[in-house]
A and B are shown apart, each in its own frame.
Chain A
Amino acid sequence: MATEHIKHIKPYSPQFGTMIPMGTQKFLRTCIIYQLYRFIAINIRMTILILKSHH
């Protein structure tokens, strides 16, 4: 079931009021091909931040 992984969350508990990743999102977190693309993106972002921060 699509929400099996969050069966522990009870209605009106603090955990009930936030967002939880579903199947595709969870898969992409450790999908090697997608994460290789994200690795490049993160490094570019961090490089820009470093260049912007040094005075």
Chain B
Amino acid sequence: MAKVVIMGGGVSGHTAASFLKKWLGKKHEVIVITPNSQWNWIPSNIWVGVGEMSKEEVVFPLAPVYAKAGIDYRQAKAVSIHPEGKDGDDTPFITIEYTGQEKAGQQDEIAYDYLINATGPKLNFDATPGLGNGQGQMGEHTVSVCTADHAIHANHELEKCIEKMKSGERQRFLIGTGHGMCTCQGAAFEYIFNIEHKLKEVGVRDMADITFISNESFLGDFGMGGIHFNMGGFATSSKVFAESLYAERGMDWIIGCHVNKVEAGKVHYELLDGSMGEKEFDFAMLIPPFAGVGLKAYAKDGSDITDTIIAPNGFMKVDANYNAGSYENWKASDWPSTLQNPIYKNMFAIGIAFAPPHTISKPMSSPNGTPINPTPPRTGMPSAMMGKAVAQSIVDMINGADAPTHTANMSEMGAACVASAGKGLFSGTAAAMTVYPIVPDFEKYPGVGRDMNGTTGELGLAAHWVKHILHHLFLWKAKLRPGWTLIPE
């Protein structure tokens, strides 16, 4: 009987665990370790953040779903990996610390035959002074939509601003990235447009000054080096597409920006040209940079081997080319395919947890040496596809394959992204984008890096319907309801 342990129960880990249990059946064990008691459909948090959805509409408890599926669920955080076992026992194991199930604080060891790291990001608020509270959590000066609880708080603060505007007091909104190395510009993009849409709906848009602040060197970079969409016979840059949306709605932007300090009502920042600036605000949502969750690794003799399997950013090394050198030498083939750790062949990392070989966007720094460039996004579709591919590989390896049999390479797969610009059955709009491949391949697709037959974008009500339907479909799928396997990742 094989034991497969998945650390993390987000989109990627939950997908892997669900398929593993379905394919392995009762003969083998599948164990999920996650500190959360609930699963969150993160893309809809922006709607919670503007009061268009409740928390209950975007989360559900994991325990009953896993119990029904026969998955062993531990509400705990993974602390360390021991891939060689310990003195007197070669069985690899991880150490965990419970965060619930009436065992909070208790530690345990979980042995494994195969391990999947799907721990996702640590929201590194403290990377920017004032953005965090100094203890790893969000500070008091800004809001966030990274979690459902954060989004609830964000909406409360938004409502206070709306009341002020209704009584004639102008409000300044600042939305974007809170550090020079952030990812997830798409989430900030969605949130700023949903705020603008909300303010229009409640009749106070003319009392608001709205500014987007981002580490992108151009609007529409999205951490992907920008995208060229096939639109009306042109290969249209996402820069034009994005600027058009902001300009039409009367929103300003500050780009190439590293926010280096946040205080009450003000951010301080540095730009790519080395100049410094400040921006005052009444309401600010700034995405924090991501880091790995802080896993440690130890050899059989107890020595620290974290550096051998975890990159300096805290993400796990996989079958990527980490020696690609400078931007001019980067290739699509630098990106990992099997997501298998190169040293410990029974270990994999998926979703945000794997260490990318480098950024997708061109690395840039100010003349002061401050790095200011987006880091690579890992959105829902590729994260889930990685989970499924690794699950398939592990099943085949349990059944005798000596190497992974399935791949999920971001330079060989596409992503469908739907970015909301406001919710409403007849008034809402969204940008529906297909991007193929996610990581541009300038050798295969010269000039634009992507297949113009598969890379498209449009804004309209239909895309909003798609996003809302996907909300329901993916929650149905995650709850493992009848037919869940028919819903593609």
Question: Nearest residue in B to A36 (C-beta to C-beta)?
Answer: B462
Q: A20 and B244 in contact (CB under 8 A), knowing A39-B466, A49-B436, A53-B413?
A: yes
Q: How far is the CA of A36 from the CA of B250 in the complex (A)?
A: 29
B244 contacts which chain A residues (CB < 8 A)?
A: 18-21
Q: Are B454 and A49 in contact (CB under 8 A)?
A: yes
A28 contacts which chain B residues (CB < 8 A)?
A: 460
B488 contacts which chain A residues (CB < 8 A)?
A: 50, 54
Q: Are B429 and A29 in contact (CB under 8 A)?
A: yes
Q: Are B436 and A30 in contact (CB under 8 A)?
A: no
B389 contacts which chain A residues (CB < 8 A)?
A: 55
The main secondary structure of chain B at its interface with chain A is mixed
Q: Are B463 and A42 in contact (CB under 8 A)?
A: yes
Interface size on B, residues (CB 8 A): 38
Q: Are B436 and A32 in contact (CB under 8 A)?
A: no
Q: Are A52 and B436 in contact (CB under 8 A)?
A: yes
B412 contacts which chain A residues (CB < 8 A)?
A: 53, 55
Q: Are A55 and B458 in contact (CB under 8 A)?
A: no
Q: Are A53 and B248 in contact (CB under 8 A)?
A: no
How far is the CB of A36 from the nearest CB of chain B, in Å? 7
Q: A14 and B429 in contact (CB under 8 A), knowing A21-B248, A35-B462, A42-B458?
A: no
B460 contacts which chain A residues (CB < 8 A)?
A: 28-30, 35, 38
Interface assignment of A46: CB less than 8 Å from any CB of chain B: yes
Q: How far is the CA of A30 from the CA of B489 in the complex (A)?
A: 28
Interface assignment of B434: CB less than 8 Å from any CB of chain A: yes
Q: Are A15 and B243 in contact (CB under 8 A)?
A: yes
B416 contacts which chain A residues (CB < 8 A)?
A: 46, 49-50
Q: How far is the CA of A35 from the CA of B381 in the complex (A)?
A: 24
Q: Are B385 and A9 in contact (CB under 8 A)?
A: no
Q: A18 and B414 in contact (CB under 8 A), knowing A35-B460, A38-B460?
A: no
Q: How far is the CA of A43 from the CA of B462 in the complex (A)?
A: 10
Q: A9 and B465 in contact (CB under 8 A), knowing A30-B427, A52-B454, A55-B389?
A: no
**Chain B 226-253 near chain A by CB (<8 Å), digits 1 or 0:** 0000000000000010011011101011
A9 contacts which chain B residues (CB < 8 A)?
A: 247, 250
Which residue of B247, B381, B385, B432 has the most chain A CB atoms within 10 A of its CB atom?
Answer: B247
How far is the CB of A49 from the nearest CB of chain B, in Å? 4
Question: Nearest residue in B to A8 (C-beta to C-beta)?
Answer: B250
Q: Are B458 and A38 in contact (CB under 8 A)?
A: yes
Which residue of A5, A29, A30, A49 has the most chain B CB atoms within 10 A of its CB atom?
Answer: A49
Question: Nearest residue in B to A19 (C-beta to C-beta)?
Answer: B244
Q: How far is the CA of A19 from the CA of B434 in the complex (A)?
A: 21
Within 8 A of A (CB), among B81-127: none
B448 contacts which chain A residues (CB < 8 A)?
A: none
How far is the CB of B405 from the nearest CB of chain A, in Å? 10
B413 contacts which chain A residues (CB < 8 A)?
A: 53-55
Question: Nearest residue in A to B239 (C-beta to C-beta)?
Answer: A18
Question: Pick the contact of A52 from B240, B414, B426, B432 — CB < 8 Å?
Answer: B414
Question: Nearest residue in B to A50 (C-beta to C-beta)?
Answer: B488
Q: Are A19 and B240 in contact (CB under 8 A)?
A: yes
B247 contacts which chain A residues (CB < 8 A)?
A: 6, 9, 14-16, 18, 20
Q: How far is the CA of A28 from the CA of B389 in the complex (A)?
A: 40
B250 contacts which chain A residues (CB < 8 A)?
A: 8-9, 15
Would you give 15 A-B contacts (Cβ < 8 Å), ordered by A?
Answer: A5-B248, A14-B252, A15-B243, A15-B250, A17-B243, A18-B244, A32-B461, A36-B462, A39-B465, A46-B432, A48-B454, A49-B434, A53-B415, A54-B488, A55-B413
Residues of B that sit less than 8 Å from A by CB: 240, 243-244, 246-248, 250, 252-253, 381, 385, 389, 406-408, 412-416, 426-427, 429, 432, 434, 436, 454, 456, 458-463, 465-466, 488-489
